[in-house]
Amino acid sequence: MEKIIYFDYCALIIMIILLTTTYLRRMTKGQVNRCFGYILVNHFVACIADVIAISLDNMAGGHILQQYIWHSIYLFTHALTPALYMMYLVALSDTWHRYQNKLIRVLLFLPIGLCFLVLCMNGWIKKLFYIDAQGGYIRGEWFLLLYLCTGIYTIMIIEHLLRYHVLFSKREFVFLAAVIPLQVIALFVQFIAPQYPVELFAMSIGLLILSLMLQGSEQLIDPATGIGNMKSYMKYVRRGIKNGKIVRVILTNVSNYFGLRDMLGYSGVQDLVAVLANEMMAICENEGIKAEYYYLGDGKLRCVAEQRFSAQCMEAAQKINRHFKDDILVNELSVNVNACVCIMDCPRDIDDIESIMVFGNDLSKLKHSEGVLFASDIYKKDHYDLMHDIDKIIENALSNHKFEVYYQPIYSVEEHRFNSAEALLRLKDETYGFVSPEIFIPAAEKSGAIHKIGNYVLEEVCQFIASEQYKQLGLDYIEINLSVAQCMKPQLADDVIQILNKYHVSVNQINLEITETAASYSQNTMMENIEKLVQAGVSFSLDDYGTGYSNMQRIASMPFHIVKLDKSFTNTYNDTKMMIVLENTIRMIKDMDMKIVVEGIETKESMKQFSALECEYIQGYYYSKPIPKQEFIEFIIEEHKRGK
């Protein structure tokens, strides 16, 4: 009975395409990709062996030895495929640590080991198959052992998928499971109709589906380094935490990455990163570490190894730290890399992926260190828990009125009284206590909650200004801060005017502050908002002057009524050169017909110094820290009594 070989030809063509594209896509690094590669190579060999074996069978005689050899190779590689598929599932779910027991490992490889042994003996015992005198291929009485081996691994595969289903995404689970019935049906067809060798073709189709649907989309590779990117890193670490695996991570951040990018250009810095990644991998491999490697972008390299390599990771981290401090040659340029190397144990040090990512990013902000750092020494769990929960905290504060507006008095040097105040937002959470504005304001800008917060502050201030209590204080206006994100909102001017009208507050009773950083933006929306509000009669202040690098011509062209000197200026009276800068800055601002508020005044000496420099307003702890509304009212009333 002549076998139809065209199914094997199709399977072989598919495998050639898969192997070629896998290599060209550089999907060869990493445990998962390697296991998938083993399946492809094994299945490719099986296709070649079956094509040759069937061709020899169809020739009918004269090639008995070759038939034994190629049929044996085919049967072994064919039986090995489900075992390799099982290994692929274990790698994909990152559960190798669950198979550390020697007995379990023996049982895992026992079926394929027995098949290999029987195949080696088959030339003499002829129990699996034999070649008759006419060159015909005949199945032997033990042939069902091969199907039994496949059946055992199929049961293992199904059991593993079901036991660890939570470690697979829905997409992964569906496509991984779909291969099983496809292969079972093909096995059944070929068993009852040997002239139709469809098993290899069916498996090739299954591997093609996995390559397109899983390998291509989930195991993403960074093109510059050829190692895993941020998405695959997050997936690997998250999965490890979920299944209780303990890993040691070597985090390497190039702190001066952006400076190097400006110097080398985008292409040059990519070449540098590739060199660093290769050297990191070489160091780790020389230490005998079996690890996964990732590049997260912006100069952040990661090496993730199992707990059993902890000691080697320590040695490797020290070598990486020393080596990366040497000059590195890139495109004939000698480059100095400032690398921060840190060791992190998960989940002992950090046990959630969001905190891991934030911590890894924050490493670049640390001062340059000569030695290897340890996450256990620098990680503050409360801080990262707060950063992880900040969006929920803000949402809860908006829904349950947890925000509170504080007021810091501003003293008029000319009038010898407190004539205004700055409204400052405070947030107290039940779990974390007082949350710094330096944390919740940037988070609110990212999430978009800043617009609700801005409207809340404006409404609270306008309610206060419209109250009878406020009228007793004799204040001229209240200063309200605007963030960069608020300035970019097209409806900002309309919202401000609408709220002022709602509470019957005059436009000259508020003063809007924007930071020097915000003022340096040249966005049309921001300028349209400012112009519309100025036309309505609202005045503006430039806040934190002296902290940025704004274009002076641009600042001079904007309609600021007041400039607020940053508190960094208050420490200059012992520095002769800085005093010259300060005096000329004050003169320049006054020449532009703007008034000056000095922030951060904490001592009597500073107050007298800036009063002598003819600064109009003083703000700082020397008079009062920001205080709740009722305390502020009592403070101003008490000051009025003292003045009288």
Distance between the two ends of the chain, CA-based, in angstroms? 118
Per-residue pLDDT tens over the stretch 412-462: 999 999 999 999 999 988 888 888 888 888 888 888 899 999 999 999 999
Asked if 245 and 309 count as a contact pair (C-beta separation under 8 A), the reply is no
In the predicted model, what is the mean pLDDT of residues 391-413? 91
In the predicted model, what is the mean pLDDT of residues 519-547? 80
Work out the pLDDT band at 523, boundaries 50, 70, 90: low
Q: How far is C-alpha 335 from the chain's CA centre? A: 27
Please tell me which of 14-28, 75-89, 552-566 the model is most confident about, judged by mean pLDDT: 75-89
* Dist. CA 416–CA 411, nearest whole Å: 7
Query: Does residue 616 register a pLDDT over 50?
Result: yes
Work out the pLDDT band at 410, boundaries 50, 70, 90: very high
* Dist. CA 127–CA 118, nearest whole Å: 8
Work out the pLDDT band at 379, boundaries 50, 70, 90: confident
Q: What are phi and psi of 229, to 5 degrees?
A: -100, -170
Residue 1's pLDDT is: 55
DSSP for 445-481, written as a single string: HHHTTHHHHHHHHHHHHHHHHHSHHHHTTT--EEEEE
Residue 331, helix vs strand vs coil: coil
Residue 307's pLDDT is: 87
Q: Look at the block and give the residue holding tokens 């112009």.
A: 531
In the predicted model, what is the mean pLDDT of residues 403-409? 94
Least confident of 3-7, 60-64, 120-124, 165-169: 60-64
Helix (H) or strand (E) holding 304: strand 300-306
* Dist. CA 528–CA 553, nearest whole Å: 19
Query: Does residue 217 register a pLDDT over 60?
Result: no
* Dist. CA 115–CA 73, nearest whole Å: 12
Identity of residue 404? E
Per-residue pLDDT tens over the stretch 266-320: 888 899 999 999 999 999 999 999 899 999 999 999 999 988 899 999 999 999 9
Beta strands in 413-487 (DSSP E): 417-429, 433-435, 477-482
Asked if 395 and 429 count as a contact pair (C-beta separation under 8 A), the reply is no
* Dist. CA 136–CA 64, nearest whole Å: 9
pTM here is 0.63
Query: Does residue 550 register a pLDDT over 60?
Result: no
Query: Does residue 218 register a pLDDT over 50?
Result: no
Query: Does residue 339 register a pLDDT over 80?
Result: yes
Work out the pLDDT band at 568, boundaries 50, 70, 90: confident
Identity of residue 587? R
Residue count of the chain: 644
Q: How far is C-alpha 184 from the chain's CA centre? A: 40
Contacts of 304 by beta carbon, 8 Å cutoff, 6+ apart: 233, 236, 237, 240, 247, 248, 249, 291, 292, 293, 294
In the predicted model, what is the mean pLDDT of residues 74-91? 92
Q: Cis check for the bond before 347: say yes or no (omega within 30 of 0).
A: yes
Q: How far is CA 584 from CA 130, 284, 544, 577, 591, in A?
A: 101, 57, 17, 11, 10
Asked if 49 and 70 count as a contact pair (C-beta separation under 8 A), the reply is yes
Q: Look at the block and give the residue holding tokens 């504060």.
A: 397
Asked if 344 and 350 count as a contact pair (C-beta separation under 8 A), the reply is yes
Q: Which domains are delineated in the chain? A: 6-215 (1.20.1070.10), 230-379 (3.30.70.270), 386-643 (3.20.20.450)
Per-residue pLDDT tens over the stretch 21-72: 888 877 777 788 889 999 999 999 999 999 998 888 888 666 888 989 999 9
Work out the pLDDT band at 86, boundaries 50, 70, 90: very high
Least confident of 84-88, 319-323, 421-425, 521-525: 521-525
Q: Percent helix, strand and coil across the chain, each rounded to 5? A: 60, 15, 25
Residue 519's pLDDT is: 56
Contacts of 442 by beta carbon, 8 Å cutoff, 6+ apart: none
In the predicted model, what is the mean pLDDT of residues 523-531? 81
Residue 330 or residue 114, greater confidence: 114
Residue 470's pLDDT is: 92
Q: What secondary structure letter does DSSP report for 400?
A: T
In the predicted model, what is the mean pLDDT of residues 192-197? 83
Cβ atoms within 10 Å, residue 638: 10
420 CB burial (10 A radius; 0-12, 13-18, 19+):
buried
Work out the pLDDT band at 510, boundaries 50, 70, 90: very high
